[in-house]
Amino acid sequence: MNVSGKVRRTLGVMAVVAVIAVALSVMSVLSRPTAGCGCSNYPDLTSAARTADRFAELIRARDSSGVWALLTEDAQTRYGDPVRFRPVLERLAVADGQAVGGWHFVSDRYAAEIPNSVVLTRYTGSQRSFAVIMVHTWRDRPEANRVDPEPAGRTVRVTGGDTGTLRVVGVGPSERAWFVLVNPVGEARELMPGRPGEDGRPLTVPDDARSGPALLAVAVRSATGWSVAAVPLVLDAGGGDAGG
Q: For residue 120, list its beta bridge partners.
A: 105, 133
DSSP-based three-state secondary structure for 64? helix
DSSP-based three-state secondary structure for 81? coil
Using CA atoms, how far apart are residues 181 and 217, in angstroms rounded to an integer?
6
- H/E element, 107: strand 100-107
> Where do the domains of the chain lie, and which CATH numbers do they carry?
1-20+153-238 (2.60.40), 21-150 (3.10.450)
Q: Is the peptide bond before 115 cis (omega within 30 degrees of 0)?
A: yes
Q: pLDDT truncated to tens, each residue of the chain (244 aa)? A: 433 333 333 333 333 333 333 333 333 333 433 333 444 456 678 888 888 888 888 998 999 999 999 999 999 999 999 999 999 999 888 877 766 667 778 876 666 667 788 888 766 655 556 677 888 888 778 888 999 999 999 899 988 745 578 889 999 888 889 998 887 777 788 888 888 877 788 898 887 777 777 888 899 988 888 899 888 887 765 433 344 4
Contacts of 232 (CB under 8 A, 6+ apart): 16, 18, 127, 128, 130, 213, 214, 215, 244
